[in-house]
Amino acid sequence: MLHRRTVTAGCALAISALTLLAAPAIADREPAAGTGSTALRPPGDMVSAMQRDLGLTKEQAESRLLNESRLGDVEVGLRKKISDSYAGSWLSGPTSATLTVATADPAAASSVTGTGVQAKVVKHSLATLNAAKDALDKAAAKAPKTAPVWYVDVRTNSVVVLSDQPAEAESFIAASGAGKGVVRVEKSGEKPELYYDLRGGDAYYINNSARCSIGFSVTRGSTPGFVSAGHCGSAGASTTGFNQVSQGTFQGSSFPTNDYSWISVNSNWTPQPWVAGSGGNVTVTGSTVAVEGTSICRSGSTTGWRCGTVQQRNTSVTYAQGTVYEVTRTNACAQPGDSGGSFISGTQAQGMTSGGSGNCTTGGTTYFQPVNEALSVYGLTLTTSGGTPPPTGCSGYQQTRSGSLSSGASVYQPDGSYYTTTASGTHRGCLDGPNGVDFDLYLQRWNGASWVNVASGITSGPDETVTYTGAAGNYRYRVHAYSGSGSYTMAYSAP
């Protein structure tokens, strides 16, 4: 489930015990007139931060954002086009002018075309890399403390385990059963820890003691609220706002394994599609996942605006409290007090700061919990500009099926089987998925030897439709969770 327009950032989250003498600073809470951002007009302070942290000129920063917007959209189509042979993709160059799409099938390389696009033939598909990392994840409880981080690295077509004791890491890998030749050890002194203590963005208080900050505004049905880091509080904990006015209650929280939570708020509070930037409010327009190599920025109460790039998306990181899976690794620095803050690429919400290592003086590594997983797990809708349109729905079809999918999984409808038509005509299919995910729909026809895709709906959103006119025969629908998890409804009509 987060691609690429102007870079923004928002409130940071921190947790700390506060004394009565601690008086938090209060940020502006009313939107500045005309604030917001567009693909062509990134916030000036964001461009300045990119210049500082990425070593770019103003023109390069602006060009980079435009290239990331264009090539991010191109990448969505290409990864689905080469399907099972897809091995990852990444942007490179100071202005992100080159998109590399990796494939494990040499024959598929010729189909990777476009301005600024190049193909790279590699040994392992992304599915193979993910399977190796899954093996490490299952063995996480036995991972040595000297190997706190592992991730899928599409640039090197491998799974990397970071450790300051390579021999211990190798033993962990061997015991996990991860594919030989897929996983490698990289020596590193990285020691991730959660970012606690200081305020960030608009503060809120947990049980009148600990303090954190808002990540992104959300709704669940008609209930307003916001998402935050899971290590900020447990389900049932009460919250008050920056002004000590009664605010809400933690409805769900997950940490470790995940690092997300959601808090419902009362009628004193209204969700807005804004995150606080140093120059005013910036509008969130969606949560499309950014490609590796994309520039990304975060805002925190300790270090302010800080930018970097998306390094690896499928990362597992082990803190003293346990392992958190499927976080995203970045080289945007952060320090204690920035915990839980908003990570944004363009106007697209990416996630909430989890933890990291290093600092903003010497440089560091920071991990964030992808926001789309929290949206999907809790059935939340991200608050965005212009409001959120309702799902397309799948009414008016002959047959309807429903179910649920976890990220990366597929199911075949109807009922794990197929249907037969005895006449030629038009087939119509519809998929209605949960907000914040990327679900796809494929119509397949049996050609006598195998199932072949004859129509597909493969946008980057949760809802798809397909139409196909074909001869009599056997047909089925494949519902695929490209990213994100949740319940779906699909419907179809046949000749």
Q: What pLDDT shows up at residue 489?
A: 86
Quote the CA–CA distance of 106 and 102 in Å, as a whole number.
Answer: 10
Q: Are 355 and 197 in contact (CB under 8 A)?
A: no
Q: Which of 231, 254, 342, 432 is catalytic?
A: 231
Is 395 a residue whose pLDDT tops 90? no
Q: What's the fold here for domain 1-33+124-388?
A: Thrombin, subunit H (2.40.10)
Beta strands 158-163 and 183-187, pairing class = parallel
| CA atoms lying within 13 Å on the CB side of residue 376 | 26
For residue 44, name the pLDDT band (cuts at 50, 70, 90): low
Is 407 a residue whose pLDDT tops 80? yes
**Residues 444-456: tens digit of each pLDDT:** 999 988 999 999 9
The angle at the Cα of 490, spanning 484 to 495, to the nearest 5 degrees, equals 145
**Residues 314-346: tens digit of each pLDDT:** 999 999 999 999 999 999 998 887 777 888 887
Q: What pLDDT shows up at residue 3?
A: 30
Q: What pLDDT shows up at residue 445?
A: 94
For residue 409, name the pLDDT band (cuts at 50, 70, 90): confident
Q: What pLDDT shows up at residue 280?
A: 61
Q: Does 399-493 carry CATH code 3.40.50.2300?
A: no
**Which whole-number Å values give the CA distances from 31 to 275, 279, 398, in the listed order?**
10, 11, 48
Tokens of 173: 């890998």
Q: Which of 69, 176, 301, 339 is catalytic?
A: 339
Amino acid at 31: P
Closest CA to 249 of 262, 264, 234: 264
**Buried-state track 319-354, b at ≥16 Cβ within 10 A, e below 16:** beeebbbbbbbbbbbbbbbbbbbbbbbbbbbbbbbb
Tokens of 215: 């990540």
**Cβ atoms within 10 Å, residue 277:** 26
Backbone angles phi, psi at 348, to 5 degrees: -100, 120
Q: What number is the average pLDDT over the span 57-82?
A: 90
Q: Which pTM does this prediction carry?
A: 0.59
**Cβ atoms within 10 Å, residue 254:** 20
Q: Are 200 and 340 in contact (CB under 8 A)?
A: yes
Specify burial of residue 447 (Cβ count, 10 A radius: 0-12, 13-18, 19+): exposed
Q: Which of 26-35, 62-71, 349-358, 399-408 is predicted least confidently? A: 26-35
Q: Which residues pair with 266 in a beta bridge?
A: none
**Residues 458-483: tens digit of each pLDDT:** 888 888 989 898 899 999 999 999 98
Of residues 383 and 117, the one with the higher pLDDT is 117
Q: Which of 137, 259, 338, 438 is catalytic?
A: 259
**Which whole-number Å values give the CA distances from 467 to 172, 331, 493, in the listed order?**
49, 44, 10
Q: What number is the average pLDDT over the span 138-164?
A: 94
Q: What pLDDT shows up at residue 321?
A: 93
Quote the CA–CA distance of 477 and 418 in Å, as a whole number.
Answer: 8
Does residue 124 have an active-site annotation? no
Closest CA to 11 of 284, 193, 311: 284
Q: End-to-end CA distance of the chain: give it in Å, rounded.
A: 34
Quote the CA–CA distance of 16 and 329 in Å, as a whole number.
Answer: 24
> Which long-range contacts does 416-422 make (Cβ < 8 Å, 24+ apart)?
417/476, 418/446, 418/474, 418/475, 418/476, 419/474, 419/475, 419/476, 419/494, 420/472, 420/473, 420/474, 420/475, 421/472, 421/473, 421/475, 421/494, 421/495, 422/472
Quote the CA–CA distance of 327 and 158 in Å, as a whole number.
Answer: 17
Tokens of 3: 């691609």
Q: What number is the average pLDDT over the span 258-274?
A: 87
What's the order of all strands across the beta sheet hosting 425-432? 399-405, 486-493, 425-432, 463-470
Q: What pLDDT shows up at residue 6?
A: 30
Name the average pLDDT for the chain.
Answer: 83
Of residues 311 and 10, the one with the higher pLDDT is 311
Q: What pLDDT shows up at residue 264?
A: 93
Q: What pLDDT shows up at residue 241?
A: 79
Does residue 259 have an active-site annotation? yes
Q: What pLDDT shows up at residue 314?
A: 94
Domain boundaries for CATH 2.40.10.120 within the chain: 1-33+124-388
Q: What pLDDT shows up at residue 201?
A: 57
**Residues 268-309: tens digit of each pLDDT:** 888 878 777 666 667 778 888 889 999 988 877 777 778 899
Q: Which of 68-77, 102-111, 316-325, 399-408 is predicted least confidently? A: 399-408
For residue 227, name the pLDDT band (cuts at 50, 70, 90): very high
Does residue 427 have an active-site annotation? no
Q: What pLDDT shows up at residue 22?
A: 25
Backbone angles phi, psi at 352, to 5 degrees: -115, 130
Domain boundaries for CATH 2.60.120.380 within the chain: 399-493
Q: What number is the average pLDDT over the span 415-429?
A: 89
Backbone angles phi, psi at 70, to 5 degrees: -70, -50
Q: What pLDDT shows up at residue 346?
A: 77
Q: What number is the average pLDDT over the span 357-370?
A: 93
Quote the CA–CA distance of 310 and 482 in Å, as a whole number.
Answer: 19
Q: What pLDDT shows up at residue 69?
A: 86
